[in-house]
Amino acid sequence: MNKRLFSILNFFVLSGFILFPDLVQAQKCKQEYISGGKNLELRIQEDCRIEIHPYLGKNRKRSYWFFADGAFQSFVETQDYNTVSKSMGATVYQLLPVKESKPAIRKKSDGTFEILTASGHLVQLNSMGELISINDNRVKTYPLQHIDKMHVRNGGIEISPFNGIFVNYGWAKGNGAYANAQRDAVIKDKRGRSCTVKNAEIYAPNPKVKAAPIALMKKPEHWKKFIKKRCSNLLWMEDTKYAEAFYGTKELVDADPIGDLIEKINTEGGIKTN
């Protein structure tokens, strides 16, 4: 094994980038590798995480990882420095609510991809494997640049409020941003309302590996209880029904139909009638 690759694998484990700490997986999946052409590979792993690997450059790469517990990371790998910890970083999110689902990847007739994650979230990719949307709302990505410029742009990815809730732990080089107990995590709901908490409220210190803290929210209901108590201004959703819609069994659920109607009135100046 090449020395740099060995360093990268060790770095993944020690930093908590790839294997989220204290993650217990009851769900098992059949391993699948799907080619999107010479510049894209998609994978479903045995622990049901989905990996998206676009090959957009020789010295800089960005991949997307969707875990069965709803954790999502955009991982940037470069060769801009000889030290691995200076050359890599990740933007980490938690997508909610979590609905255990059978993960699947579909290639559409126009060459784009539609993905259902094991946590029940719908992901759209363009033909090159770059993110278009999560749960039908836009994801903005910036072109890969030197790691220092990516650092200024917080990893070069922005998620808009979508049909659900997300926790934004932010970007960090060297380890996952959630590993810093005093760092803020920003939680947003569908309507863009936000709540700021400390990572220490979500993760506990790990005496064995400092960079891999222990998740306090081990089940979906723990997240529900935490957000309702700590962030009561946010709209919690039980289930967005993306899994059912993906497999053609049910319609999507609107989290806040009354709120959407009020917003329509405010933005359009009233409801038109014949």
- Residue 266: its pLDDT value, please? 54
Residue 184: closest CA among 174, 193, 194:
194
Q: How many CB atoms lie within 10 A of CB 46?
A: 12
pLDDT more than 90, % of the chain: 55
**Confidence band, pLDDT 50/70/90 cuts, at residue 5:** very low
Residue 229 has pLDDT above 80, yes or no: yes
Q: Which residues pair with 76 in a beta bridge?
A: 62, 89
Residue 210: closest CA among 199, 198, 222, 223:
199
Residue 87 has pLDDT above 70, yes or no: yes
What is the mean pLDDT of the segment spanning 231-241? 88
Mean pLDDT for all residues in the chain: 82
If one compares 224 and 238, the residue with the highest pLDDT of the two is 224
Among 33-42, 242-251, 256-265, name the most confident range. 33-42
Residue 85: closest CA among 76, 95, 72:
76
One DSSP character per residue, 103-116 reads -EEEE-TTS-EEEE
Residue 66 has pLDDT above 70, yes or no: yes
What is the mean pLDDT of the segment spanning 32-36? 87
What is the mean pLDDT of the segment spanning 248-271? 52
Among 166-175, 206-215, 223-232, 257-266, name the most confident range. 223-232
Extents of the domains making up the chain: 3-236
Which amino acid, one-letter code, is at 148? Answer: D
First CA to last CA distance, the chain: 71
3-state SS, residue 82: coil
Residue 6 has pLDDT above 60, yes or no: no
267 to 161, 262, 264, 271, 274: CA distances (angstroms): 18, 9, 5, 10, 19
- Residue 166: its pLDDT value, please? 95
One DSSP character per residue, 180-208 reads -TTSEEEEE-TT--EEEEEGGGTEE--SS
Residue 184 has pLDDT above 90, yes or no: yes
Alpha carbons 236 and 62: distance in angstroms, whole number: 31
3-state SS, residue 147: helix
Dihedral sign from CA coordinates of 228, 246, 142, 8? positive
Least confident window among 2-11, 185-194, 206-215: 2-11
Q: Give tens-digit pLDDT for 99-135.
A: 989 999 999 999 999 999 999 999 999 999 999 999 9
Supply 125's token pair. 């990719």
- Residue 23: its pLDDT value, please? 43
- Residue 39: its pLDDT value, please? 84
- Residue 250: its pLDDT value, please? 60
Alpha carbons 90 and 95: distance in angstroms, whole number: 16
38 to 35, 41, 58, 75: CA distances (angstroms): 8, 8, 13, 20
- Residue 70: its pLDDT value, please? 93
